[in-house]
Amino acid sequence: MSTKASHPLHGFFITGTDTEIGKTCITAGLTRAFDGLGRYVTPIKSLAAGQTQTADGVWVNEDVALLHAAQTQGMTMDEVGPLQFREPCAPHIAAKLEGRAIDRTALLAAIRRSASKGDFALIEGVGGFRVPLTDDWDTADLAVDLAMPVVLVVGLRLGCINHALLTAEAVLARGLRLAGWVANTADPHQPHVADNLAALHARLDQGLSVPCWGHVPRLPDPSPAAVAAHLQQPLLLNALKA
């Protein structure tokens, strides 16, 4: 039985070349940028593993909190992060540690409920493109189930060209459209940034016709507005028309 709903979601699925490469910062920046273009944006962290407890005893995931702060649709933290776990590890391991199951149908339904708060959803994956969720379902399957165009966040660090090309290949192999990519300076000491970007542009922009939506440098305060300032508004407008 298909898990796809009868109506498509408007927006993008955000994936990355690896974990800890700034997907959430970029998603928050895209939230602010598309909001500025007149969209009612719902940023959603599909799954989140790793929570800390506040002084009030509330368990909070850092990524969910960042996306919650970026949105303006009155979403709750649970709507932004519909499935959260305490342990900062792979989701299927975190679920096992808590004695919980990741239910495909329930998660997709929760994501769609959150997306309904606005007219344009930015749904962020977890880790890279193929992170296990259950024995027979991973984040690539999640992207297929949601049937949304994909945006690739490329963390600029050693190995980024290989990781970006492998991920782009995997996205296209699933029959998904790769709508754009964003370069994010994950390693502040990464050498030869210009040469790395040139190689990525040649292979993604020119080779695959996937436009670069922007290059975000290392920012002292990577707020949504600061990140949005480094995204190319004309390309985002083109993406909305595609």
Catalytic residues: 45
For residue 45, list its beta bridge partners.
Answer: 124
Residue 78's identity, in one-letter code, is D
| CA–CA distance, 237 with 180 (Å, rounded to integer) | 12
For residue 18, list its beta bridge partners.
Answer: none
| CA–CA distance, 48 with 125 (Å, rounded to integer) | 9
The token duo for 90 is: 């792979």
The helix/strand/coil state of 11 is strand
| CA–CA distance, 32 with 89 (Å, rounded to integer) | 28
Q: What is the CA radius of gyration of the chain?
A: 17
SS3 content of the chain, % helix, strand, coil (to 5): 40, 20, 40
The token duo for 164 is: 């970006």
